Amino acid sequence: MIINKVRDFIIAHQLIQSGEHVLAACSGGPDSLALVDILRQIRLEFGFELAVGHVDHMFRGKASAADAQFVRDYCQRHGLVCFSTAINVPQYLLEQGGSSQDTGRKLRYEYLRETAQTWGNAKIATGHHRDDQAETILLHLFRGSGGAGLSGMHAQAGRIIRPLLSLTRQEIEDYCQQHALEPRQDLSNLKTDYLRNKIRLRIIPQLEAAVGSSVREPLCRVGQILADEQKFLNESAQAIWPNLTRETPDATCVYTEPLSKLHIALKRVIFRLLIEKKQGNLTGITFHHVEKLIEMADSWPVGSKFDLPGGWRAEREYDAIQVRRREVCSVSRGIAPPGVRLLIPGETEVSELGVRVRASVQTYLPQHIDSATAVFDLAALQQPLFVRSRQPGDRFSPRGMQGDKKLKDFFIDKKVPRSLRDQVPVFCDSHGVIFWLGGLRGSRQGQTTAATTEYLVLQIIGIQEALP
């Protein structure tokens, strides 16, 4: 029995829990109508609340308006809440451009997500079935997708669930007939202008005619095998992620040395995971982009850049590949001179750099200091003292070296990643003379001597651990 098959699939994949809200997307066609009808019949057994969401894309005039009315009428007969809207997708395309299918899907899911969020943070159920799965796998194959794409659709992806993935199109049509459902028919599904329709109406039938048997089930089986293998790779990538990366609010970096020891399959997953973490999805990312990132990590020179879809930029650093927004690469949010005045003694919040500076004055030289702490001769510094970000043309006199040096050259020599240079606290006196690059090197200015009587101890709390 078809309902039992769906029930078993929901239980096996833990798609719906008691007390949850489920918003079933329904166009009025056979797949989505069967979805709503089956969920309606099992909702009391599973203990979930059910509502229906419909979007009229306004592509087909009176026909699409009639679809919307059909869905509303069904819901009214069966006592279901129905959320329905009309979105003028043709007008949107005239103004914004784009693909009609992709744009329609984007706007439809935006509405469904907003509705689901306001209606009990509901899960969104779609009517995708096993034939859709086979078509999706072929579609991704033709586009050159990797293992993630060739594994097809998952039973659950975030808040989206697909309870009918165990059913074939024929089983759904049989269900509609057996339960006297009279679904609407969208004639645009018969057009071969779209690649998915062409796969369903021409390519799969031709393949089956050529091999003499169905190709849908083998395709779905391959997809399941690849899904299991992809899950293993994703879990492996997640396990090593903390030791492989450095994350800041603006950027994520992958260290190249440990990356180089990984299998190529895991490298691909790592970079896909990086992009997904940054932008929330992999829209626009292809095999080409991932391979370029791996090539950059393996052999590109320091300073090389590679632009990614979605406004992201990858840059080769000394020991890492950094990915961040392109606009962030050129816009600094640092602290201009004279900077934030230090409270001495006391603690100063430097929110722009994400640190606090604790200052104390002692009459003896501290015995134990770390890289985030420095000691100076208070009398040798012109007060008040400030902390700021680096500025063009900055120079200082590093301890242990003759003469002075440009900060830019010092950072290069110390192999400080570009992504971290604006986060280095630069400490200056009232004349703008730099006496400490926080966490890196003190200047000869303010250096303690045997004649020092008051020791200024500065400690940076929250300093970036990745500084050399």
Per residue in 263-296, pLDDT (tens digit) is 999 999 999 999 988 888 887 788 888 999 999 9
Question: Does 108 have pLDDT greater than 60?
Answer: yes
* Strand order across the beta sheet in which 434-437 lies: 340-341, 386-388, 426-428, 434-437, 441-442
**Residue positions forming the annotated binding site:** 27-32
Question: Does 462 have pLDDT greater than 90?
Answer: no
Of the listed ranges 71-80, 113-122, 190-199, 377-386, the least confidently predicted one is 190-199
CA distance 179 to 35: 12
Indicate the DSSP class of residue 265.
H
Assign domain 2-219 to its CATH superfamily: HUPs (3.40.50.620)
Question: Does 329 have pLDDT greater than 70?
Answer: no
Residues of the chain with CATH 3.30.465.60: 248-330
Q: What is the CATH number of domain 340-461?
A: 3.50.40.10
**CA dihedral of residues 39, 42, 44, 50 (deg, nearest 10):** 0
For position 333, what pLDDT does the model report? 54
Nearest to 265, CA basis, from 307, 301, 226, 310: 226
For position 260, what pLDDT does the model report? 95
What is the percent of the chain with per-residue pLDDT over 90, rounded to a whole number? 63
- Gyration radius (Cα) of the chain, Å: 30
For 206-219, the pLDDT digits (tens) are 999 998 888 999 99
For 118-151, the pLDDT digits (tens) are 999 999 999 999 999 999 999 988 877 778 888 9
The answer to whether 437 and 426 have CB atoms below 8 angstroms apart is: yes
Higher-confidence residue: 1 or 467? 1
For 29-68, the pLDDT digits (tens) are 999 999 999 999 999 999 999 999 999 999 888 999 999 9
For position 465, what pLDDT does the model report? 53
For position 331, what pLDDT does the model report? 47
Question: Does 466 have pLDDT greater than 70?
Answer: no
Confidence of residue 161 (pLDDT cuts 50, 70, 90): very high
Question: Does 458 have pLDDT greater than 90?
Answer: yes
| Pair of tokens at residue 74 | 């069904």
**pTM exceeds 0.95 for this model:** no
Question: Does 332 have pLDDT greater than 70?
Answer: no
Residues of the chain with CATH 3.40.50.620: 2-219
Nearest to 440, CA basis, from 405, 432, 456: 405
Question: Across 18-80, where does the E strand assignment appear?
Answer: 21-25, 49-56
Question: What's the mean per-residue pLDDT of the chain?
Answer: 90
**Residue positions forming the annotated binding site for ATP:** 27-32
Higher-confidence residue: 167 or 367? 167
What would be the CATH architecture of the domain defined by 248-330?
2-Layer Sandwich (3.30)
The answer to whether 125 and 161 have CB atoms below 8 angstroms apart is: yes
Question: Does 386 have pLDDT greater than 50?
Answer: yes
Render 103-134 in DSSP notation, one character per residue.
HHHHHHHHHHHHHHHHTTT-EEE----HHHHH
The answer to whether 39 and 163 have CB atoms below 8 angstroms apart is: yes
For position 464, what pLDDT does the model report? 58
For position 185, what pLDDT does the model report? 86
Question: Does 95 have pLDDT greater than 70?
Answer: yes
For position 467, what pLDDT does the model report? 57
β-strand partners of 376: 456
| Pair of tokens at residue 189 | 């599904």
Higher-confidence residue: 400 or 254? 254
